[in-house]
Amino acid sequence: MIEYIRSVIHMKTRRLTELSLITAMALIVFVIELRFPDILPIPGVKLGLANIFTVYTVYRFSAKESLLMVLSRIILGAIFCTNVQAFIYSFCGAMLCLGGMLLIRKVIPKEYVWLCSIIGAVLHNTGQIAAAVCMTRSPAVLFHYPVLIISGCIAGAFTGITAQLLLKRKLPGQTDNENRRMENESDIIT
């Protein structure tokens, strides 16, 4: 843990600033999305718009930096808006999703980010269902799993396509050489 904190301290200022802004945007989108009415009467079915930033971060930053962003978003989201139970579901889903996407990004190029996002959404729902089974001690919640997988694939495709479009864009004030350098940094620091 101490070594992890040291690595965060040594992050370049610009990179840390960008990561902080992405975390803030993800948190804002998460809070706003909580205010939307439920799409379906099944718990856990939502758009997951904050995951646009997670997918973007997975392909733009290192594994450690992606983990830092996701953990920050989950912890702050739980403090601001949810309860302990929701935090557990979110944590389990996000960790399985992030771990899977970090492995998959080595195989799936940026041209197919949407596919990585769909797989991440399925993993996220799988983590949440596993947490629900453990917390309720009842396999009855597994009846929700097929609907969560279908809705997760749809939402994952949307968030993935959006993240893919963001990854293709240059940041304001950023040169092409700088963009390539930052892409190479994220490949090296995994």
pLDDT exceeds cutoff 80 at 140:
yes
Of 103-117, 118-132, 169-183, the range with the lowest mean pLDDT is 169-183
Residue 188's pLDDT band (cuts 50, 70, 90): very low
Q: Which amino acid is at 67?
A: L
Instruction: Give the residue-averaged pLDDT of 97-113.
Output: 92
Domains of the chain: 2-170 (1.10.1760.20)
pTM score: 0.80
Residue 139's pLDDT band (cuts 50, 70, 90): confident
pLDDT exceeds cutoff 60 at 175:
no
